[in-house]
Amino acid sequence: MIQRIQTLYMILALVFSGVLGFVFPLWIEAGREYYFMSNLVYTTITALSVSIVLFSIVSYKNRQNQFVANRLAMILNLILLGLFVYRSLNLSGETAVSEKGIGMFLPIVSIVFLVLANKAIKKDEDLVKSVDRLR
């Protein structure tokens, strides 16, 4: 399970999606840092994404379920990224001092690792199908 490269990619996506959200702020407004837990919608989508990636890691025996679960996690991360972009475009820069944090880019890195994991899962699936043809 851990020795497969797609599992490592999924663990990295889990770290970027779930753990680093506590470390890096989404934005800083008037000297106060806002993390993803400041909004219930961000917290819910992040928790769903993390739980789906965790389910995908655990279901290593069924590659098709892993592939579908990773796609669903990618969609949730895209929704989260869209919400972050919408919020960053609505941040007022003139009335209060505000800046965008690096935490807004964590879903992008998570999506990249999930895409790499899906490529590795597809490669494993093709290898198994090619071996089945030889029998």
User: What's the average pLDDT block by block, 10 residues per block, for the chain (135 residues)?
Assistant: 84 91 81 82 92 92 91 95 85 61 88 95 87 69
Residues whose CB is less than 8 angstroms from the CB of residue 6 and which lie 6 or more positions away in sequence, other chains included: 66, 116, 117, 118, 120, 121, 124
Instruction: Report the pLDDT value the prediction gives residue 39, as an integer from 0 to 100.
Output: 84
Instruction: Report the pLDDT value the prediction gives residue 38, as an integer from 0 to 100.
Output: 82
Instruction: Report the pLDDT value the prediction gives residue 70, as an integer from 0 to 100.
Output: 94
Instruction: Report the pLDDT value the prediction gives residue 15, as an integer from 0 to 100.
Output: 93
- What does the domain layout of the chain look like in residue ranges? 5-125
DSSP H or E run through 5: helix 5-14
- For 78-81, which contacts have Cβ atoms below 8 Å and span 24 or more sequence positions? 78/107, 78/111, 79/45, 80/42, 80/45, 80/46, 80/49, 80/107, 81/107, 81/108, 81/111
Instruction: Report the pLDDT value the prediction gives residue 96, as an integer from 0 to 100.
Output: 58
Instruction: Report the pLDDT value the prediction gives residue 104, as an integer from 0 to 100.
Output: 85
Instruction: Report the pLDDT value the prediction gives residue 52, as an integer from 0 to 100.
Output: 95
Instruction: Report the pLDDT value the prediction gives residue 93, as an integer from 0 to 100.
Output: 58
